[in-house]
Amino acid sequence: MKKNILLFVIFIALDLFSQSKKSISITPLPVIYYAPETRFGLGAAAAVVFRLPKSDSAQTTKSNIQPYFIYTLNKQILTNIPYTVFGNQNKWRTEGELAYFYFPELYFGLGNNTPENTKQLVSFKWIRFLNKTGFKINNLGYWGWIAEMVSQWDVKPEGNDIFQQTPPVGANGSVVTGIGPLWMWDSRDFVMDAHKGWFGDVSVTYFNKALGGNFDFWRFRTDFRYYRNLSKKKPVILAFQAITQFTFGDAPYRHQPPLGGDQMLRGYYWGRYRANHYLALQSELRFPIYKRLRGVVFAAAGQVSPSLTQFMISEIRWTLGFGLRFVVHRADRVNIRVDQGFGNNTDGLYINLGEAF
């Protein structure tokens, strides 16, 4: 079973300023966290949904900020502030995150066929700033830039196994800083829980020592999503997502795309397989069950590869799964999700705030 379990065992939905005359609602959630490597942790999460002052509510998508903070009994910290903000009438948009954590994770080596018995626990400290800003140009979507800065330090592997015997790039820590061009398309009705529309994100990021980092590499990434409501009376949503990421150059191991986690290929440990290049797709069917309770079934497939010529159909990893959603704020579609994913000789339970995509 997936060894990182995020448990929202208590929830309190406090809709502050959520009346029609107000432009902001806040849904706070106390959190209990557990992972075998960290023991129990306590924290808090929130969904802040709003429109900027003087925005046309009829033509401006709602913005959101979803901060969370977790502190474990082992004195470890996981905190993040992801955000998506739309300007008046969606003329511009900006999204990203500011994250810091000190958190152990299992390292299995690099590649699409690393054995289970090679895993080694590695702890480190990590801070990341990511921002994507685009300006709408007629009907051509948003054009702008991506900027990213990540620092990893205090890397401490337990034991003397694969991480030391075959050290990956960045085994002693890393600082990477990158910028590049960005194109986005967004016709979704809601960002946090879309019922219809398209989303597209294409970026090229150049990480360079001249920008303040200590590694040179570049990354090409795409993320496309589609949502369709199959019912006129109730939200029966069919959703698709396809992601590609290709990394070229001297990229530290934690900047090589990971397979698994609570968003894509649920059922695999985050980073169970990791390599320079990544292809993945998934689909979900979301449907109502009773009042605030909803159900989900999903399927996904993906693969990582050290080179573009080594992708093989026979090496595809897959997952199937099902889940539940509890709507804590109907107007702003704030959900608690519970997912159970099953892969090839693996499975994982995930409880989190918001949809996987």
For the chain, domain boundaries:
5-264
Least confident of 125-139, 214-228, 233-247, 259-273: 259-273
pLDDT (0 to 100) of residue 284:
98
25 has a pLDDT exceeding 80: yes
The predicted model scores a pTM of 0.87
> Which residues neighbour 197 within 8 Å (Cβ) at sequence distance 6 or greater?
186, 187, 188, 189, 226, 227
Residue 282 parent element (H or E): strand 277-290
- Separation in Å, CA 292 to CA 136, 330, 335: 35, 8, 9
pLDDT-based confidence at residue 39 (cuts at 50, 70, 90): low
Alpha helix ranges (H) inside the chain: 162-165
Q: How many CB atoms lie within 10 A of CB 157?
A: 18
Q: What is the mean pLDDT of the chain?
A: 88
34 has a pLDDT exceeding 60: no
pLDDT (0 to 100) of residue 280:
98
Q: How many CB atoms lie within 10 A of CB 139?
A: 6
Tracing tokens 């059922």 back to the chain, one arrives at 267
146 has a pLDDT exceeding 60: yes
* Token couple for 340: 């159970």
- Separation in Å, CA 104 to CA 35, 112, 154: 10, 22, 11
Q: What is the rounded CA–CA span in Å between residue 251 and residue 54? A: 43
Contact of 74 with 39, CB cutoff 8 Å: yes
10 has a pLDDT exceeding 80: no
Least confident of 13-22, 100-109, 183-192, 231-240: 13-22
pLDDT (0 to 100) of residue 141:
96
Least confident of 226-230, 266-270, 316-320: 266-270
**Eight-state DSSP code of residue 87:** -
Rg of the chain taking only CA atoms, in angstroms:
20
pLDDT (0 to 100) of residue 22:
59
User: What average pLDDT does the segment 54-64 reach?
Assistant: 86
Give residue 74's region: left, alpha or beta (phi > 0; psi -120 to 50).
alpha
pLDDT (0 to 100) of residue 55:
84
For residue range 157-207, list pLDDT tens digits in order. 998 889 999 999 999 999 999 999 999 999 999 888 999 999 999 999 999
Contact of 339 with 296, CB cutoff 8 Å: yes
Q: What is the rounded CA–CA span in Å between residue 349 and residue 343? A: 12
Assign a CATH topology to domain 5-264.
Porin (2.40.160)
2 has a pLDDT exceeding 90: no
Cα angle: 31, vertex 33, 35; to 5 degrees: 170
CA–centroid distance for 352 within its chain:
11
Contact of 136 with 92, CB cutoff 8 Å: yes
